Amino acid sequence: MYIIVWIVLAALVGLAGTNRKGGFWKAFIIGLLLSPLVALILIIGSGKKNPIGCKNCGNKHNEAEYCGLCKKNSQGLTREETSAQTA
């Protein structure tokens, strides 16, 4: 019974890894060999397959709404400018 639960959890972690750099199979195998929890932590820490990038500064590795380098969003506004517009 525990083995079936372990395999199902590893498969769920594999599904969580489909949009990450490692992919399904890498996450699944790590989940089987180490543990699904360790694999989930590694998958969450890995980068996305296709990050959105930043149109303002050219940062190709940006995965967030606001760029980590220039601090602007896709519209070229900072958080402060965005909150000033909505207020």
Query: How do the domains of the chain map onto residue ranges?
Result: 2-45, 51-87
Tell me, what's the pLDDT at 20?
A: 87
**HSE (CB half, 13 Å, CA atoms) of 65?**
4
Assign residue 74 a region (left: φ > 0; alpha: ψ between -120 and 50; beta: otherwise). Answer: alpha
pLDDT of residue 31: 93
Among the listed residues 66, 69, 68, the one whose alpha carbon sits nearest the alpha carbon of residue 80: 66
Per-residue pLDDT tens, the chain, 87 aa: give them.
Answer: 999 999 999 999 999 999 888 889 999 999 999 999 999 999 988 877 777 788 888 888 787 788 888 988 888 888 888 888 876
Q: Cβ distance 53 to 61 under 8 Å?
A: yes
